[in-house]
Amino acid sequence: IKINMVPIRGINADEIEAFAQLSFAYPFHIRFIEYMPIGDTVIGSDRRILASEIKERIETTFGPLNPVAHSSDGGPAQRYRLKGALGEIGLIQPISHHFCTTCNRLRLTANGRLRLCLLSNLQEDLLTPIRSGCGDAELKGIILSAVRQKPMQHNFRGSSADCLKDQMSAIGG
């Protein structure tokens, strides 16, 4: 089980340690994600909490975060384990540390589009070919062609002017 938390000052920043503590009682993967102003956002960058602060707060309360070996199914998280914990702590850093070159994620949107990057408008329509009766081989070709177009980096610089206007619920986040 993975639990994602996006810490934001004035909203839930006081819960960082409580979320981390869950890793002692349960084999959960607790993921702390830096806030990304995607869509119509009203949260300013002054309320964002970067991974370095999250890590410092967890280590101050619970002790050192010990790195966990990266695996292909680990996604973009830098993974850690606290001594004596059953679960893991992960830090996802789209603002302070671009991880694009190691990203292996694609998203299927609610309207049947394959989004190649969370922070890009590049997407491939899968719904139309499927509804038109394309076979598995043709669909595989469409997907593989799209994957070859996956960007090597995003252009997100942290200001709302640089962000997508799509809402996370429409993107698949």
Residue 142 pLDDT > 80, yes or no?
A: yes
Amino acid of residue 134: C
Proportion of the chain above pLDDT 70, given as a percent: 84
For residue 107, count CB atoms less than 10 angstroms from its CB and return exposed for 0-12, middle for 13-18, buried for 19 or more.
middle
Which is more confident, 103 or 89?
89
Residue 60 pLDDT > 80, yes or no?
A: yes
Q: In sequence order, what are the beta bridge partners of 114? A: 108, 124
Max CA-CA distance within the chain?
Answer: 57
113-115 sheet: strands from edge to edge? 107-108, 113-115, 123-125
Q: What is the pLDDT of residues 40-56, one digit of tens each?
A: 766 788 899 999 999 99
Q: What is the pLDDT of residue 168?
A: 66
Place of tokens 């309360």: 61
- CA dihedral over 71, 77, 78, 81, signed as positive or negative: negative
Closest Cα partner for 92 from 55, 62, 126?
55
Q: How far is Cα 53 from Cα 65, in angstroms, rounded to an integer?
A: 13
Average pLDDT over residues 131-144: 96
